[in-house]
Amino acid sequence: MDVILPDQLDSLLADKPTRAAAEPGTTAAPSELARFSQQLRALSSLNTRLICMEADQPVYGEMVEGVSRVMNIEVCALFMAARDQQHLVLEGVVGVDVAPEDQRLHLDDHTRPAVQAYQEEYLVHVVDVLMAPGAVPIFPGVRSLMALPIIGREGAVGVFVFARQDPGGFGVGEIDLASMLVDQMAYQLENYRLIRQLSSSRDAVIHGMARLAESRGGDMGGHIDRICAYSQLLAQRLQGMPGYLGVVHDEWVSTLTRAAALHDIGKVGIPDAILCKPGKLTDTEYEVMRTHAQLGADILRDLMSTHGAFPMLEMGTEVALCHHERWDGQGYPRQLAGDAIPLSARIVSVVDVYDALTSKRVYKSAWTQEDTLAQLRDMAGAQFDPRLVEVFLREPGELERIRERFPD
């Protein structure tokens, strides 16, 4: 493996013309000008896209696809340092299918060019992997590659890998362009990594608030984890179905999976005497209990007004407010009906009742799976969106596996 040091790269680029450069005194060939123009357009498009992206969007995949278009190289991949500082994790790839064992590289494995580039913070250029002593092909069928470290404020944070199926390596012009692109992406990648860490911490705090609300009612089990998992399962099944195209996509599913935890956050404002009562509630007590839907929405709106809105809180507000609305309009607090109820809340409504029926409580025993499924089907079209019930109950075995994974 050839390690190109920064000073060597500068002299190399200064002494040798790029493939796209014309000889002195001549005009660049039309094909070269066209290719250069395409690269500029692709670079401009990538920059515009990255600038306009929200922090929660999958920026890694966008970067890899964009850089691949600009470079016009068969295979492009992005590895970022894991939090454990012991691995590089594949975050995006185009042009090749990657085996699971190659998606996480240990930093002790110096046979991997990506690891060497990260550790040494230098460009690694392999002209022919099969002829390089001690080198392990990072992707199947790859013969030549270059790995460029992504250098942040405090050192390397990841590696871009470019590869081809043929030996011969990369020309000076390609190395120059790839280095420029990676340098340009470094600041954005590090900022995005930090934002994602902050988002995870923020979500953890909000998730903790939801658990606190549940614990006041005596539930310290897996209820919230199951609600999130059931909601994710149902939402994923809706993807690609007629009526949900353009609405239920990967980002929406991810947001719902986290926002579902907030469905009962308003219970934090219900008095213990009512929330923890083991027996049946009186009519007056029940009316107080019903206020938890509006209380939850108010809590989350106050949080957004103070600290800013983001998708999880916005959807969480929908879920908290509307997960007790009914398909027939007889629910609360607003008596919404049918599609007027947000889809996120309609999903959580179904999975919340499923979990309540199949769970043991101080006032009841857990229902059997068979009885629960029959009850949900009976309530379809009245309490629940009938289409959601049909999709949710399609493979009951998956529901049981979630319950086994998150027991009380």
Q: What is the pTM of this model?
A: 0.58
Do 84 and 161 share a structural domain?
A: yes
Average pLDDT over residues 180-203: 68
Whether 23 has a pLDDT exceeding 90, the answer reads no
pLDDT band, residue 25 (cuts 50/70/90): very low
- Element containing residue 173 per DSSP (H, E): helix 172-216
Whether 22 has a pLDDT exceeding 50, the answer reads no
Domain presence at residue 175 = yes
235 compared with 30, residue with greater pLDDT:
235
Among 76-80, 94-98, 193-197, 239-243, name the one with the lowest average pLDDT: 193-197
Whether 18 has a pLDDT exceeding 80, the answer reads no
Percent of the chain at pLDDT exceeding 90: 41
Task: In whole angstroms, give the CA distance from residue 59 to residue 64.
Answer: 9
Of 163, 195, 227, which marks where a domain is finished?
195
Per-residue model confidence (pLDDT) at position 316: 94
Whether 186 has a pLDDT exceeding 90, the answer reads no
Do 111 and 254 share a structural domain?
A: no
Among 1-15, 23-37, 160-174, name the one with the lowest average pLDDT: 1-15
Rounded to a whole number of angstroms, the distance between the first and last alpha carbons of the chain is 54
Per-residue model confidence (pLDDT) at position 142: 85
Helix (H, G, I), strand (E, B) or coil at 92: strand
pLDDT in tens, 236-275: 999 989 999 889 998 899 999 999 999 999 988 888 888 8
Do 371 and 222 share a structural domain?
A: yes
* Residue 154: how many other CB atoms lie within 10 Å: 7
Find the CATH number of the domain harbouring 299: 1.10.3210.10
Do 137 and 7 share a structural domain?
A: yes
pLDDT in tens, 304-332: 887 777 888 899 999 999 999 999 999 99
156 compared with 154, residue with greater pLDDT:
156
Per-residue model confidence (pLDDT) at position 139: 79
Ramachandran category for residue 218: left, alpha or beta (phi over 0 → left; psi -120 to 50 → alpha): left
Do 19 and 123 share a structural domain?
A: yes
Among 149-158, 190-199, 231-240, 277-286, name the one with the lowest average pLDDT: 190-199
Name the domain count of the chain: 2
Per-residue model confidence (pLDDT) at position 149: 93
Domain presence at residue 161 = yes
Whether 84 has a pLDDT exceeding 80, the answer reads no
Interstrand relation of 155-164 and 144-152 (parallel, antiparallel or unpaired): antiparallel
Among 18-22, 65-69, 293-297, name the one with the lowest average pLDDT: 18-22
Domain presence at residue 210 = no
Do 223 and 191 share a structural domain?
A: no
Do 169 and 79 share a structural domain?
A: yes
Do 232 and 362 share a structural domain?
A: yes
Find the CATH number of the domain harbouring 82: 3.30.450.40
189 compared with 340, residue with greater pLDDT:
340
Whether 40 has a pLDDT exceeding 60, the answer reads no
2: DSSP letter: E
Domain presence at residue 202 = no
Of 195, 230, 252, which marks where a domain is finished?
195
Do 239 and 189 share a structural domain?
A: no
pLDDT band, residue 402 (cuts 50/70/90): very high
Q: Do 367 and 375 contact (CB within 8 A), yes or no?
A: yes
Average pLDDT over residues 337-348: 97
Burial of 324 (0-12, 13-18, 19+ CB in 10 A): buried
Domain presence at residue 22 = yes
Per-residue model confidence (pLDDT) at position 102: 76
Q: Which of 106, 85, 98, 64 is nearest to 157 (CA)?
A: 85
Domain presence at residue 211 = no
156 compared with 25, residue with greater pLDDT:
156
Domain presence at residue 187 = yes
Do 191 and 246 share a structural domain?
A: no
Sign of CA dihedral 376, 211, 219, 264: negative
Per-residue model confidence (pLDDT) at position 319: 97
Which residues, 6+ apart, have CB-to-CB distance to 274 below 8 Å? Answer: 281, 285, 288, 289
- Domain encompassing residue 245: 217-405
Mean pLDDT of the chain: 81
Which residues, 6+ apart, have CB-to-CB distance to 114 below 8 Å? Answer: 79, 88, 105, 124, 138, 147, 159, 161
Do 178 and 38 share a structural domain?
A: yes
Domain presence at residue 208 = no
Do 383 and 292 share a structural domain?
A: yes
pLDDT band, residue 277 (cuts 50/70/90): confident
